[in-house]
Chain A
């Protein structure tokens, strides 16, 4: 531990500010509150602050950030940066440091986010032990009020001087280079710091009535608690304030913005929040978390359960910003969890600490947000609203997808949309996307011509385990556009026909004119190694239909299969799954013989932006293909 007088500390800060190779920010007063901002002089620093309006994550994960630039003439590119200057952040409270460590884990999981880490790696964190605690702060209870890691330097105010703990060589170098009169701490200083830290631990006015380690288990026991979430969220304004000010919230939206030429522009990432109405809404209008109670619940589960299961930490550091920013005063986690605890106690539910989750965080390279340029080589209209696009990557490479995976398709100036690949990987040179005109991207895509350019990212997701399925009988059940992802597996199986057992395809759509891949279907009907049964919900008088009429489930009694050797592969509109699964189970098909491909709002494709989340699952990364036995207990899935 070192010590520096307050005068010398001010000189140190001013020396940092003077060095133009550094960016220096710190806590300053702002309209009666406090905020991190650029420093012009050490005298602006307010290290006695209680809490800042926004946490320092804004420097690494800014409110608005360009991910990609595009030019119709040249394609997509990473934004040009002039390199990142080292950023010194002065006055970070310990809970915000812990939050940054959480963000680090989240942004590096599976694929690392280069935009975040470029800035984060160039940062130097000078922390300060809390002098005044916000009345909503419960960092001591979360174990985040006093820390001995995560910082480069940590200050403690000792009246006329600061004690300095050195956490990292970067901090020590900074002191050596810019500070004068830094001395070794005396025994009394060390003692005083210890005393201050003990005082901090008892500063909080918020109290849990139980041990916070019970939070994950408490949540699990309350998911479907009748009326609990409705009651607590009744006053929710769905304004998103609680999540936008949160130091560990990381969900984002991505939007394209074009300049007035209409030919050049940027793809921008902005903060988003799971409390906001459209967060889980997809282009078809389906909203997977349509009500305030479901979104309110999701926030608590994400912090207290889902991230705990994935990373091993409760993703709340107790800063209290959510509580202080909630006008109807319903976002205070301490209040909510206490209510939850007492409610479970009154019901006689026993809550024991959850077993430590098995955390396995792997990082395999960086996320690439820049799409590859690709050409539409063929465009075949299939129905009034659906078209088959054959696409070739301009760099000549293969997409290299597995059946069931999806790509993110970019249309210049419009944006990006997730589309499942419809062709089998056995088809080389190009791949196919069967696209329905629904949202902005898919509508514009339909106006493009052969030879026009698009952007492609991916493939993403897990895909079907076609190796495992070898030797099995396969029962494909496709509803409407659900045929699109299934066709990639179906065609793969036909191209390797001898390696699979029986192949049955049940395919339903609303009416005959909506039948997709109709020519291929005609050819299928003639094959004797495939059993093909189509159906339509109804047939208008002016159309011709000789097959079955009725919803897709009316086909199930018409086929015989051996539940032991048969695997059902299902994809269709969200409403379809429970009915099909119900009827298949009625035919004794075991749960683990049912394989589903699910649709959600896959925005980033790499398990970061949060939009496609089904409870703890990221559809873009953990799916979109799921074994029913694994997700039947996941309440938001079906």
Chain B
């Protein structure tokens, strides 16, 4: 069987997820035994338009990006969204409840009129997506696990439960007990609670679980001492697009 051809694409994002892939180093070489990379701007010059699996990083923030996404969808057998911007709209969505003209002026100053923009959105708001590698940035382990699943013809195993499950298994002291405020109870697991393991909190980069109890989580945040506004902002950081949709 011919090796599947793989291409990477980036939209509005920091390219940190592709960097994680490039950082796979030895494992990347082993993986290359299974696939042929035909486009990956961060690590190679060559580009090809002939691919089977498209990995897309970044969110869609302009109408003209939609056409490019549709072209990718047409050519690829499988489309995989990688990283928060692509999977859930990411922190780009923070701007969505601000006045867009103000946002453009802040970023581009006098040249704002030259730069078109609309509400930031995840890839699946524009084209169907077959698989997701969540995270900001993605973890190498999960990227590999998703790729292996796709190569085996298996639906990637992405948890439907929240980060608390992994925190408990890792025997972490709960962030709330350390006097911090965490959105792990409503955030999709799969990161092995990596941030909390390091003594900090979950910011929610993997997005909400399928059926989050948002009201209860906000009550908890407030019960432990956050103001209502701060609790709402906690949700906005990564859940903006998902909350709007709900």
**CA A413 to CA B34, docked complex, whole Å:** 15
Q: Is B233 an interface residue (CB 8 A)?
A: no
Chain A CB within 8 A of B2 CB: no
CB <8 Å contact, A273 and B169 = no
The stretch that binds A, out of B37-45, B112-120, B125-133, B173-181, is B173-181
With contact pairs A235-B219, A255-B157, A325-B174 given, residues A241 and B152 touching in the complex (Cβ less than 8 Å): no
Within the assembled complex, what's the spacing in Å between the Cα atoms of A416 and B135? 28
Check A325–B152 contact: CB distance below 8 A.
Answer: no
Q: A262 near B161 (CB under 8 angstroms)?
A: no
How far is it, in angstroms, between the C-alpha of A420 and the C-alpha of B31 when the chains are bound?
37
A374 within 8 A of B: no
Q: How far is the CB of A67 from chain B (nearest CB, A)?
A: 16
Q: Cβ of A447 < 8 Å from any Cβ of B?
A: yes
B160 x A328 contact (CB < 8 A) = no
Q: Which of B14-22, B81-89, B91-99, B207-215 participates in binding chain A?
A: B207-215
Q: Determine whether the beta carbon of B155 is less than 8 Å from that of A239.
A: no
Given known pairs A240-B168, A244-B165, A260-B27, the reply for A447 and B153 (CB within 8 Å) is yes
Report the minimal beta-carbon distance from B168 to chain A, rounded to whole angstroms. Answer: 4
The stretch from A30-38, A389-397, A615-623 touching chain B is A30-38
Q: CA separation between A413 and B156, bound complex, in Å?
A: 12
A223-260 interface with B by 8 A CB criterion: 234-241, 244-245, 255, 257-258, 260
| Chain A positions within 8 Å of B138 at CB level | none
Given A292-B213, A413-B152, A414-B154, A239-B171 contact (CB < 8 Å): no
Q: Flag whether A130 is at the interface (Cβ < 8 A).
A: no
B177 touching A278, Cβ below 8 Å: no
The answer to whether the Cβ of A277 comes within 8 Å of any Cβ in the partner chain is: yes
- What CA separation (Å) do A85 and B148 show in the bound complex? 35
Q: Is B169 within 8 A of A237, CB to CB?
A: no
Nearest CB in chain A to that of B210: its residue: A277
Q: Tell me the smallest distance from the CB of B29 to a CB of chain A, in Å.
A: 10
Q: Which residue of B lies closest to A237 (CB)?
A: B185
Q: Which of B33, B171, B219 is A53 in contact with, Cβ under 8 Å?
A: B171
Q: Is the CB of A497 closer than 8 A to any CB of chain B?
A: no
> How far apart are A30's CB and chain B's nearest CB, in angstroms?
7
In B28-54, the 8 Å CB interface with A consists of 30-31, 33-34
Residues of B within 8 A of A244 (CB): 164-165, 168-169
**How many angstroms from the CA of A220 to the CA of B2 in the assembled complex?**
61
Give Cα A530–Cα B144 distance, bound, in whole angstroms: 55
Q: Which residues of A contact B154 (CB under 8 A)?
A: 413-415, 440, 444
Residue of A nearest to B167 (CB): A241
Q: Closest A-chain residue to B31, C-beta based?
A: A260
- Asked if B171 and A262 sit within 8 Å, CB to CB, the answer is no
In the assembly, what is the distance between CA of A64 and CA of B217, in Å?
28
B11 to chain A, nearest CB (A): 28
Q: Does the CB pair B162–A30 fall under 8 Å?
A: no
Specify which chain A residues have a CB less than 8 angstroms from the CB of B30 in the assembled complex: 260
Q: Which residue of B lies closest to A413 (CB)?
A: B152
The smallest C-beta distance from A325 to any residue of chain B, in angstroms, reads 7
Asked if residues A33 and B216 are in contact (CB atoms below 8 Å), the reply is no
Interface flags, B228-241, vs A, CB<8A=1, else 0? 00000000000000
Does chain A have a CB within 8 A of B194?
no
Chain A residue at smallest Cβ distance from B173: A31
Q: Verify B34–A260 contact, CB threshold 8 A.
A: yes
> With the chains together, A277 CA to B173 CA distance in Å?
24
Let me know if B103 is at the binding interface, CB within 8 A.
Answer: no
Q: Does A276 contact B (CB under 8 A)?
A: yes
Fill in one digit per residue for A420-464: 1 if any B CB lies within 8 Å of its CB, else 0: 000000000000000000011001100100000000000000000
Q: A54 an interface residue at 8 Å Cβ cutoff? A: yes
- Tell whether, in the assembled complex, residue A258 and residue B148 are in contact, meaning their CB atoms are under 8 Å apart: yes
The CA-CA distance from A245 to B174 in the complex, in Å, is 12
When chains A and B are docked, how far (Å) is the Cα of A262 from the Cα of B1?
Answer: 14
The complex places the Cα of A319 from the Cα of B243 at a distance, in Å, of 37
Distance of A327 Cα from B184 Cα, bound (Å)? 11
- Rounded to whole angstroms, the CA-CA distance of A54 and B30 in the bound complex is 37
- A446 → chain B closest CB, angstroms: 10
Contact A30 B213 (CB under 8 A): no
**Which residues on the B side are within 8 Å of A413 (C-beta)?**
148, 152, 154
Chain A residues contacting B161 (CB-CB under 8 Å) are: 238-240, 276-278
B220 touches A (CB below 8 Å): yes
Out of B151, B160, B176, which one reaches A327, CB within 8 Å?
B176
A271 at the interface (CB under 8 A from B): yes
Residue of A nearest to B28 (CB): A260
When the two chains form their complex, are residues A237 and B148 in contact, meaning their CB atoms are under 8 A apart?
A: no
Bound together, the chains give a CA A353 to CA B225 distance in angstroms of 43
- Please tell me if the beta carbons of A443 and B153 are within 8 angstroms of each other in the complex: yes
Most buried by B among A238, A413, A439: A238
* B173–A245 touching, CB < 8 Å: no
Q: Give A93 to B169 CA distance when docked, in angstroms.
A: 20
CB pair A245 B148 closer than 8 Å:
no
Q: Which of A240, A415, A439, A444 has the most CB of B within 10 A?
A: A240
Asked if A327 and B220 make an inter-chain contact with CB atoms under 8 angstroms apart, the answer reads yes
Report Cα–Cα, A240/B160, bound state, in Å.
12
Q: Contact partner of A237 among B144, B168, B199, B216, CB < 8 A?
A: B216
What are 5 A-B contacts defined by CB distance under 8 Å? A239-B165, A241-B168, A262-B151, A325-B174, A328-B220
- The 9 A-B pairs at the shortest CB distance, nearest first, are namely A239-B164, A244-B168, A31-B173, A235-B216, A63-B169, A237-B185, A276-B161, A260-B30, A327-B220
Chain A residues within 8 Å of B, Cβ to Cβ: 30-33, 35, 53-54, 58, 63-64, 234-241, 244-245, 255, 257-258, 260, 262, 270-271, 273, 276-278, 292, 325, 327-328, 413-415, 439-440, 443-444, 447
Instruction: With A241-B168, A258-B152, A278-B160 given, name 13 new contacts (CB 8 A).
Output: A53-B172, A64-B169, A235-B216, A237-B220, A239-B185, A262-B34, A262-B148, A273-B165, A277-B211, A278-B161, A327-B220, A413-B152, A447-B153
